[in-house]
Structure 1
Amino acid sequence: MPVQDGVRGTDLGVRRTWRACLLGGAVFAVGMAGTTLPTPLYGHYQDKFGFSELTVTIVYAVYAFAVIGVLLLAGNASDTVGRRPVILAALGCAAVSAVCFLLATSLGWLYAGRLLSGLSAGLLTGAATAYVMELAPRDGAARATLVATAANMGGLGCGPLLAGVLAQYAPWPLYLPFAVHLALVACSAVVVLWLPETVRERRRLGTVRPQKPSLPPQVRPVFGPAATASFAGFALFGVFTSVSPAFLAESLNERNHAVSGLVVAMAFFASTAGQLAVGRVGVSRSLPLGCGLLLVGLALLAGALLWDLLALVVASAVVGGIGQGLAFRAALSAVAQASPADRRAAVISTLFVVAYGGISLPVIGVGVLTGPMGLEGAGLVFIACMTVLVTSSAAYLIKRPVPAGA
């Protein structure tokens, strides 16, 4: 009987540990959902404040610049001061961002909201990923990685879906989505306060030092094509989340906010599936395969722009999302494996900086070209540029594949 009691106690401890891990994942998802919440609402803001498509892309890009800044200046903060303080700070930024959107009476409020949303994502991404994995049982690393991946990309997908459904079928389309998210953030803060801290040796905030982008010589052969594929994949996501609602409304006359939110959400959900498939496909095959699917996704998007077909937009979101997920997780695994242990965090931060550059810079380019060329013309120029980048990366990977052990 004592043995049975011990086994029963161990099982109970494992269940409690997994419960903590899943709750940490739920907090992660809520935080990331706030970063994509405004996506299907930009048309409403354009009507309310009278700004151009270029302004939409700049408002969107402010988020990416804020993420890059946090990754460079405080990406390692949770290793120093603890996971919970950083996650609570990220949730605080998310809450203030929601308040900015609730109070928005001019364009400046949108810039402030997106800036704070970027700060939240930059703080949350590294800290919450580590926290979810540390809360899991010691032998549950693979499942914990699944929880963290699903929480990150699933949360990003749930944001536009939630906002689109509420904006279409509930009152106060510019207020209710952010009020709901604010309530979810408050509940998440309570959960974090209940969960244990996983960093045992914590130091003062003043000991946090900025991380410089770093690229050791042995990483460079892998980093080039990996970063190029990551840049292109995130650029495709950037275009989907910033201008696809406008394309659906203007070119396809699809003004249902739930539909536009669902299309964006499908890209993120497909990315989750792609990331999960890397374990079966293998890193060495996932990078070129991801590049190939990105090319197919770009071709489908070009067809959607040329022939104004919603089905091709959906297909592009799914195929491109799977390709992005395959390529990015494989890129992350490859550069991490090639990096020396004492430089790994800096190399990964550099990869994330390149990836988030893909969300911001090409999106602004599309916005600049929309005025003289129209949304379709600007989108085709974007697709042509991304096709060159992805093709170059894929050709390099075919000639010099990533080692199977990476």
Structure 2
Amino acid sequence: MPPKPAFAGLALVFAAFFFAAGAPTPLLSLRQQEWGFSAGTLSFAFSVYALALLAALLVAGSLSDHLGRRPVMLLALYGELISMVMFLAAPTITWVILARALQGIATGLATGAFNAAIQEQAPGSLKKLAGNLAGASVAGGLGLGALVTGAAVQFTADANTLIFAILAGAMVLGIIFVSFTSETAVTRPGAVRSLTPRLSIPGKIRREFAAGLPLHIAGWMFPALFLGLSPALLRVHFALDGGLVAGFTAFLGPFSAAVASLVLGRYPARHSSLAGVSFILLGILAVLFGINATWLPAVWVGAVLGGIGFGGSFGGQIRLIAPHIQPHQRAGVFASIYAAAYLAFSVPVIIAGQLAPVWGLVPTLLAYGVTLAAFAAAGVVIQAALLKSESTPKPAPARSPVTANSRPD
């Protein structure tokens, strides 16, 4: 297959993984009403995906460097297909949790292989677009998955069967498509050794990595709030049971992040990081106001602002670090970044799910939001200080008197 259609098609297949990851958001809330499991179980069913994805990234993030892109992409697609079938036939929440975990493993396998393949298949004029397109596929897929599934819950009799049957068919088409793409990696030995989890932060980037941690934590806690906890908030606090409103609420942030990652990618990385974390702070303040005032439009505005911030800040941080990483360090560094990201995406939601029955849903979500705002505020201060230090002209070295007064003979 020529590179151009392969490049576009791989980006589309990669987006399908995250469409499938966003799809359970409205369905988990529906299942909770039907099967009667607890809020803690609901939050775990959401978060186990991120934990499994993180584990797969740590263990197999560089596997395609050894086995080739195409075999790992196909392995990920087969795993995703099996998880779709499990969702389709799940009789209990235990089956849903197992399907969600397998989905996370498959997506973790896909992340490294598809990112690399999309970059390598991109024509020369589209190389810069490739990285932004892969990032937009992640966020956009999550948002569209939640929105379309929410509409299916609202307007069809059996949304679970409809959505996961379509997604299973999409994975079959993805398997066929990837089978006809060319291999872009040179295979090399050491596949088994590469399965040892590696986290590495070279000395050159440690300061930047540490400075970006509050930004990553706030940024990834934000979409987790909407994808993992907003359906319960809408049902309990706003008395809204419709699947469409749940899907739309979960859609706004990731979709805004997808657009922002393409737009803000044109600006300097530090400016993008600072603007992004500032938008996250504004977004969570709007969300907290909306929850406190029981005014849903404020929550929606906050979702858009926070989504823009997430897209700009995460992309900015990657661009700040990437130029300073040697090729042999890449897997370990990105594993470290995504370890922080997915822990922030999953662990706070699990904690919130356990606290909600004790504290009440709204107090728990307010505490979640205040914690997120504190990390975002710290990120604003740190990024502003770094921008100021980088913008301040450094004094030129002083000339010695001998040099200053010397004259040619």
Normalising by structure 2, we get a TM-score of: 0.91
Asked if 1:366 corresponds to 2:352, the answer is yes
2:252, 2:328 → 1: CA distance? 37
Does structure 1 retain, via aligned residues, the 8 Å contact 2:19–2:143? yes
What is aligned with 1:200? 186
- Alignment partner, residue 76 of structure 2: 90
Q: How far apart are the structure 1 equivalents of 2:11 and 2:298?
A: 33
Q: State the match for 1:321 in structure 2.
A: 307
Instruction: Report deviation, 1:31.
Output: 1.6
- 1:68 and 2:68 correspond: no
> What secondary structure sits across from 1:132 in the alignment?
helix
What secondary structure, in the 3-state scheme, does the structure 2 residue paired with 1:175 have?
helix
Is the contact between residue 272 and residue 325 of structure 1 (CA under 8 Å) also seen in structure 2?
Answer: yes
Identity of aligned residues (%): 29
Structure 2 equivalent of residue 144 of structure 1? 130
- The residue matched to 2:240 in structure 1 has which SS? coil
RMSD of equivalent CA atoms: 1.8
The gaps in structure 2 that reach 5 residues or longer are 392-409
Equivalent position to 2:286, from 285, 297, 300: 300
Matches within 5 A, 1:5-20: 16-20=2-6
Displacement, 1:218? 2.3
Are the aligned partners of 1:167 and 1:177 in contact in 2 as well (CA < 8 Å)? Answer: no
Structure 1 unaligned runs (5+)? 1-12
Quick one: distance in 2 between partners of 1:258 and 1:202? 48
Partner of 1:121: 107
CA deviations 1:63-119 (Å, max 9, x no partner) are 111011111111001111111111111111111111121221122101101101110
**Structure 1 SS opposite 2:200:** coil
Name the aligned partner's letter for residue 141 of structure 2.
G
1:273 — aligned with what?
259
Structure 2 residue matching 1:197: 3-state secondary structure: coil
CA contact (8 A) 1:83 1:198 kept: yes
After alignment, is 216-225 or 59-68 more displaced?
A: 216-225
- 1:232 paired to 2:212: no
Measure how far apart 1:146 and its partner are. 3.6
Amino acid of the structure 1 residue aligned with 2:207: P
Q: CA 1:43/1:69 → structure 2, altered by over 3 Å: closer, same or farther?
A: same
Paired position in structure 2 for 1:334? 320
d(CA) in 2 for partners of 1:211 and 1:343? 13
The counterpart of 1:250, out of the listed 227, 236, 242, is: 236
Helix, strand or coil: the match of 1:140?
A: helix
- Give 1:340 deviation, angstroms: 4.1
In structure 2, what is the equivalent of residue 4 of structure 1?
Answer: none
- 1:32-47 to 2 correspondence within 5 Å? 32-47=18-33
1:190 paired with 2:176, answer yes
The residue aligned with 1:214 is 200
Q: Is the 8 A contact 1:283 1:330 kept in 2?
A: yes
Q: Provide the residue aligned with 1:135 in structure 2.
A: 121
**Alignment match, 1:28:** 14
| In 2, Cα distance between equivalents of 1:72 and 1:149 | 19
1:58 aligned onto 2:40? no
Q: Would you say 1:112 and 2:98 are equivalent positions?
A: yes
Secondary structure of 2:158's match? Answer: coil
SS at match of 1:208: helix
Q: Note the C-alpha offset of 1:140.
A: 2.0
Q: Please name the residue that 2:404 is paired with.
A: none
Query: Could you tell me how far 1:393 is from its partner in structure 2?
Result: 2.0
> Per the alignment, in what secondary structure is the counterpart of residue 322 of structure 1?
helix
Q: Provide Cα deviations, 1:211-268, integer angstroms capped at 9, x if missing partner.
A: 4111122212111121221121111111110110111122222222122112212211
Is the 2:24–2:146 contact (alpha carbons within 8 Å) kept by the matching residues of 1? yes
- Once the two structures are TM-superposed, the CA of residue 204 in structure 1 deviates from its matched residue by 7.2
**Mapped contact 1:275–1:325 kept (Cα < 8 A):** yes
Once the two structures are superposed, residues 1-58 of structure 1 have per-residue CA deviations (whole angstroms, 9 ceiling, x without a partner) of xxxxxxxxxxxx9xx4322211111111112211121101112211222111111111
1:341 Cα offset (Å): 4.2
DSSP 3-state at the match of 2:125: coil
8 Å CA contact 2:61–2:331 kept in 1: the answer is no
**Pair member with larger Rg:** 2
In structure 2, C-alpha distance between the alignment counterparts of 1:301 and 1:76, rounded to whole Å: 38
2: CA distance, partners of 1:35 / 1:200 = 30
Alpha-carbon separation, structure 2, partners of 1:403 and 1:211: 35
Map 1:277-296 → 2, pairs under 5 A: 277-296=263-282
Partner residue, 1:354:
340
CA distance in structure 2 between the partners assigned to 1:25 and 1:83 by the alignment:
14
- The answer to whether 1:382 aligns with 2:368 is yes
Counterpart-to-counterpart distance in 2, 1:57 and 1:220: 33
- C-alpha distance in 1, partners of 2:247/2:106? 21
Mapped partners of 1:38, 1:198: distance in 2: 33
Deviations 1:274-295 (A, max 9, x none): 2123333210111111111110
Are the aligned partners of 1:87 and 1:124 in contact in 2 as well (CA < 8 Å)?
A: yes
Q: Distance in 2 between matches of 1:60 and 1:279?
A: 30
Cα distance in 2 for residues equivalent to 1:25 and 1:155 = 11
Question: What CA deviation, in whole Å up to 9, does each residue of 1:103-139 have, x standing for no partner?
Answer: 2112210110110111011111121111111111123
The change in CA–CA distance for 1:136 and 1:403 in structure 2 (over 3 A counts) is farther
Q: TM (normalized to structure 1)?
A: 0.92
- One-letter amino acid matched to 1:81: L
SS in structure 2 opposite 1:171? coil
- Corresponding residue number in structure 2 for 1:7: none
Kept after mapping to 2: 8 A contact 1:76/1:211: no
SS of 2:258 mapped into structure 1: helix
Q: Is the 8 A contact 1:298 1:316 kept in 2?
A: yes
